Amino acid sequence: MKRISIKSLARVEGHGGITVRTEGKKVKDVKVQIYEGPRLIEELVVGKSPEDVLNVVPRICGICSLSHRYAALRGLERALSIEVPLRTKLTREFMLLAEIIQSHSLHIFFLSLPDFLGRASVMDMVDNYGEEIKSALAIKGFGYWVMETVSARMIHGENPILGGFGAHPSKKALIGIKKKAEKLISDAERAVELFASFKYPSYVERDTTLMALNPPDGKYGFVGDSLLISTGEERSVEEYKEVIQERVVPYSFAKRSRHNEKPFTVGAIARMNLLGKRLTGEAAKHFEKLYSKRWMKNPFFNNLAQAIEILHCIEAIPELVDRIMKLEEPVVKKPSKNSGTGTGAIEAPRGTLYHSYSINGGSITSCDIVTPTGQNLDDIEEYLKTATENLLSKGTEDDLELKLEMVVRAFDPCISCSAHLVSVI
């Protein structure tokens, strides 16, 4: 029996490790361990007001805090029957696009790109890839700039509130963002071409199930009330507990998820497989040129999918700004009741994020949060098993640990998000 142990995964958000036990060329056991301790968020908000919830739950993560705030808003507003006006919906969509731009650019340029260029880190790339790094910083900085403009802070912005916004972005700010987005489209296209130039390894390929929200009106997007599954099913987000069966394992502080007792994948690779034909503009042209059936079974294509999504988001912003500026600035919608139950879901950068709340007399009585990384963990272990057995059978064991780390990094895991549960059995 041989044991492969990677105690600390490099270039991922949070702290985790991998242990693989093999016998001959067969894998006996794979564990992705999450070391970060639980932060008890779901219990902390019980007894709090919906407004207080919005101040607490985004602290799950410093990278996708707006995604958590947006999903919480959707769940709480559904519970309290608050219907926000169109300008508020568009401005929230606007802030989510920005967070996807900054989060994806962090992952593909600074965490994954060194793998494909044979470098140890982004600092090790400065000599030959200075222009690519400048472009990456410009795209990432743009995402943070829009997030700060809309939410009032770069991280953990408090401006998106129940029923609307504390203040809407000014016309001057929106025009500036539109002009900057138009200039960055060519940078985003070069990023797609860069990630399309890599030969993605096939040792990891296997069939799986994919899930993503179904945005309305047949468009590509990141918000929806129903869930598309690659098996052909479509289910309401209110049925998420029937669709996703959560479980815990003794070696990790993060929950796991299965669908019909099988692992599945969410995130950019799932969205691109299920919704890619809905893309428009230059993003659609790149997708049509680059897409193949290998995207259904190879998580390394998540990097290319994220690059295309950055292009899509930057292309979408000028049109979105024009629509927002044509609408009157609305007042904040107030709830007409103080009790109810509601589930909100959005596509966070790493995949579908659920926030579900029950409220009684203005106080939270229950909270349930299901994160994308928690949903992907079981599938990551299955891909690691496939990769290990294929590499061992071919006798290509050089840099085995690095190759396994690359599999995990391809999923862009957010370990801090995943380790928020109440207790580990």
Which residues make up each annotated binding site for Ni(2+)? 61, 64, 414
Among 228, 185, 188, 219, CA closest to 323: 219
Tokens, residue 136 = 């990456």
CA–chain centroid gap for 244, Å, is 17
Exposed e or buried b for every residue in 142-153, given b needs 16+ CB within 10 A? bbbbbbbbbbbe
The Cα–Cα gap between 103 and 115 comes to 18
- Cβ–Cβ under 8 Å, residues 16 and 415: yes
Question: Where is the binding site for Fe cation, in residues?
Answer: 64, 417
Among the residues of 152-262, which ranges form H helices? 171-196, 240-243
Are 364 and 44 in contact by the 8 Å Cβ rule? The answer is no
- Cα(136)–Cα(97) distance, integer angstroms: 16
Q: Which residues belong to the annotated binding site for Mg(2+)?
A: 42, 369, 420
Structure-token pair, residue 335 = 């709830």
- Both tokens of 233, joined, read 């099913």
* Tokens found for residue 155: 């991280």
210 close to 269: Cβ distance less than 8 angstroms: yes
Q: At what angle do helices 400-410 and 372-393 cross, to 10 degrees?
A: 150
Residue with tokens 């600074």: 110
Q: Is 130 exposed, middle or buried (0-12, 13-18, 19+ CB in 10 A)?
A: exposed
